[in-house]
Amino acid sequence: MSIQATLITLKNIPKGIPKPDDFEIIQSKIREPKEGEFLAETIYLALDPYVRVTMVGRHFFNTPEIGDVPRGSTISRIISSKHNSYKEGDLVVMESGMQSHAISDGADVYHVNTGSAPITTALGILGMPGFTAYSALLGPAQLREDDVVLVSAASGAVGSMVGQIASIKNAKVIGIAGGKEKCQWTIKNASMENCIDRKRDNIDQKLSELCPHGVDIFFDNTGGEIQKIVLSNHIALNSRIILSGMISQYNSSKPPSGPNLGNICKQRAIIFGFVVYDYEHMKESFIKDALSWYKQGLLHYSEDLVFGIENTPDHFIKLMKGENFGKTIVQFMDL
Ligand SMILES: NC(=O)c1ccc[n+]([C@@H]2O[C@H](COP(=O)([O-])OP(=O)(O)OC[C@H]3O[C@@H](n4cnc5c(N)ncnc54)[C@H](OP(=O)(O)O)[C@@H]3O)[C@@H](O)[C@H]2O)c1
């Protein structure tokens, strides 16, 4: 069997927001899997914000070089296998990167298990982003009933799950999102009691109105100006701050100016630098809870999906501009 794979490779290391000509689409022949390996074709590719920081060496994953295929989680179908645990036809979640085919030895691979939910949720609310929300809230954030939880990038895969899980646990949730449509969606679908439009509202003033006693948990997915305002003026006594993502600075080469840390001391707040891969021990309980919540109609999500591998660079650029609405996915072929 001789297969021509399609690969998205890096033509330049992007400066600022990536541009279409930072990427190149090439064809390459793929080899047969060896003993202990399998070959899989990509059906869905997740575009995750952290991939941008790997491109400039600011992430603990390998930094790709010019000509390399950028990272990416995929839902893939095994088309040929010499591996004992994975057989032809199996659907798996794996790290194929931005390419149509990949060979794997089974490391970091697991079978798709989305119960009654659509299969793409394995890359979103029932996958790594949903698990980020779950493990951070129930782990270091020590979510309690009646906590006031504030989450930025509230309509995204991580943010919307923060809202819904916190609400299931009887906390009050306020979101911050970009634009009226996203804000309305978070209130209707992601259990936010209110949502601040970061593009139109005065965030500082709105937070004083909505959370007069401050927030108990700040789930920060953006960093930047939002982080500065919240940490300087709006954290409650003994608050917990989850530094989940800093998307406002992923395309920037200059470090941002920091918030007023005097307020962290005054409020006896705790800041956690959070990395989801440290919480594998909570994965089993996440899947059990999330599948059950979905079945009960408690979980909703939004996806920003396009068809065609050739659209991968543009869809990634859309995510980097903050123009995506929900989990950003590229579908390469019919299921
Ligand atoms: N710590 C971990 O282990 C972990 C794991 C997974 C993800 N994350 C992080 O979680 C965050 C959300 O990830 P996601 O996959 O759910 O993505 P997402 O929220 O679907 O997409 C990113 C969103 O960030 C917002 N944004 C983009 N540029 C911004 C800017 N300059 N300033 C403020 N907001 C901006 C936009 O939403 P609005 O326009 O609505 O603001 C955009 O839609 C990312 O920062 C990601 O790196 C962390």
For residue 235, the SS3 value is: strand
3-124+302-331 shares its CATH topology with 128-279+288-293:
no
Partners of residue 167 on adjacent β-strands = none
CA–CA separation, 129 and 143 (whole Å): 18
Ligand 1 residue neighbourhood (C-beta within 6 Å): 48-50, 129, 132, 153, 155-159, 177-178, 182, 198, 221-222, 224, 244-245, 247-248, 274-276, 319, 322, 324
Mutate to test the pocket of ligand 1, among 181, 247, 250, 305 (most ligand atoms within 8 A of CB): 247
In a structure prediction context, what are the per-residue pLDDT tens digits for the chain, which is 335 residues long? 679 999 999 999 999 999 999 999 999 999 999 999 999 999 999 999 999 999 988 888 989 999 999 999 999 999 999 999 999 999 999 999 999 999 999 999 999 999 999 999 999 999 999 999 999 999 999 999 999 999 999 999 999 999 999 999 999 999 999 999 999 999 999 999 999 999 999 999 999 999 999 999 999 999 999 999 999 999 999 999 999 999 999 999 887 888 888 999 999 999 999 999 999 999 999 999 999 999 999 999 999 999 999 999 999 999 999 999 999 999 999 99
Distance, in Å, from the CA atom of 244 to the CA atom of 161, rounded to the nearest integer, reads 13
Question: Are residues 70 and 28 in contact, defined by beta-carbon separation less than 8 angstroms?
Answer: no
> Domain map of the chain by residue range?
3-124+302-331, 128-279+288-293
Report the number of secondary-structure helices (H) and strands (E) in the chain: 9, 15
Does the domain at 3-124+302-331 match CATH 3.90.180.10? Answer given as yes
User: Sheet holding 270-273: strands in order across?
Assistant: 194-197, 172-177, 148-152, 215-220, 235-243, 270-273
Q: What is the DSSP code (8-state) at residue 90?
A: -
Report the atom number in ligand 1 closest to the C-alpha of 157. 16
Q: Whose CA is nearest to atom 37 of ligand 1?
A: 153
Contacts (Cβ under 8 Å, ≥6 apart) of 305: 120, 329, 330, 331
What number does CATH give the domain 128-279+288-293? 3.40.50.720
Probe residue for ligand 1, chosen from 221, 241, 249, 274 as the CB with the greatest number of ligand atoms within 8 Å: 221
**pLDDT tens digits for range 13-33:** 999 999 999 999 999 999 999
